[in-house]
Homo-oligomer: A and B are copies of this chain.
Amino acid sequence: MSNPFFKNYGPFLVSDILKLINVKTDNVKKDVELKDIKDLYSSNNSDITFFHSKKYLEIAKNTKASFCITTEFLKKELPTSCVPLVVENVLVSVSKITSMFYPDAINDDFDESVIDINETDFKDKVIYGKNVLIGKNVSIGKNCKIGHNTIIEKNVSIGDNSSIGSNTIIRNSLISNNVKILDNCVVGKHGFGFFPNKIKNLRYPHIGVVIIKENCEIGCGSTIDRGSMSNTVIGKNTYLDNQIHIAHNVKIGENSIIAGQVGIAGSSIIGSNVRIGGQAGISGHINVGNNVEIGGGSGVIKNIPDNTKVMGYPAKNIREFLRDNK
């Protein structure tokens, strides 16, 4: 799938990409055009990809990309059809190339292009409050409501029968039918992703979106960041309470229930039918299975298999937790 929202400024010549990331190599036989930068799995032979961790070894071996940003150590794992471009810091180079293809994905200043909803066609289709602003590339379905002072910035699609509260800000998001997003939320801003640098940190582009599926509810004061290279996804009929923070690339399954002040760090994957108690925190890059219960206040720092109840910091089996804390 091509990126739904961010304009791809490519194709770019390989020679231009090499200049950008300061790589000199004899491996590039022909100065072809590259159409996009994608992950190892999604890319095809007109794309450039990246490979920075042994975790992705199996996918790397089968990538269809023609070029791959990688390290001296990992380059031997790539198929012969893929030219390795060896750099010191893979992710910094990926960030630079992504910014070249998608320069609009790095700037998250307020959306200047919005106009008053009264000046749009939505004025006859949507029930809306005072001072509602609508950006470019916005679609809104039937029977929707949008509360006072809410800003639907650019690149937002809202399905039928959805209700957005007041003082809420949404951008770069695909919101399905029958979704409720309550007051004072911020949905679709870039995540907390950047390369630390002593003078000035280097932001990396977030070309992903936020996807909120049917029948979800998002409580007041919550923040849901959009993905960097992938998307942030809230599955069908999942309910979030107030003051929850969902970081970039997080995926949550269906029918899950997440209580107040929970935080889920970047790229974690939560299953379906999961219940998370208030103030629990889940570290980044964690897998939580289906039918899991996580007690309030828990700190989850390792994967949790299906059908498990955990509690504690660090979270462990709830029986063990209760026994240890008698």
Interface residues of A (CB under 8 A from B): 108-110, 112, 114, 116, 127, 129-131, 133, 145-149, 151, 163-167, 169, 178, 180, 182-184, 186, 189, 192, 194, 196-201, 215, 217, 219-221, 223, 225, 237, 239, 241-243, 245, 247, 255, 257, 259-261, 263, 265, 277-279, 281, 283, 296-297, 299, 301, 312-314, 325
What's the number of copies of this chain in the assembled complex? Answer: 3
Q: Point out the residue from B129, B165, B221 that lies within 8 Å of A221, measured CB to CB.
A: B221
Docked-complex contact A245 and B245, CB < 8 angstroms: no
Which residues of B are found within 8 Å of A194, using beta-carbon distances?
Answer: 239
Q: 20 pairs across A/B with beta carbons < 8 Å?
A: A109-B165, A114-B129, A131-B131, A166-B169, A183-B186, A184-B186, A186-B220, A186-B242, A192-B219, A196-B255, A198-B237, A200-B237, A221-B221, A225-B242, A247-B278, A259-B265, A260-B263, A279-B281, A281-B296, A312-B313
Docked-complex contact B189 and A220, CB < 8 angstroms: yes
Docked-complex contact B278 and A281, CB < 8 angstroms: yes
Docked-complex contact B299 and A299, CB < 8 angstroms: no
The residue in A167, A225, A237 that gathers the most chain B C-beta atoms within 10 A of its C-beta is A167
Which residues of B are found within 8 Å of A196, using beta-carbon distances?
Answer: 255, 257
Which residues of B are found within 8 Å of A151, using beta-carbon distances?
Answer: 148-149, 166-167
Minimal beta-carbon separation of A91 from chain B (angstroms) = 15
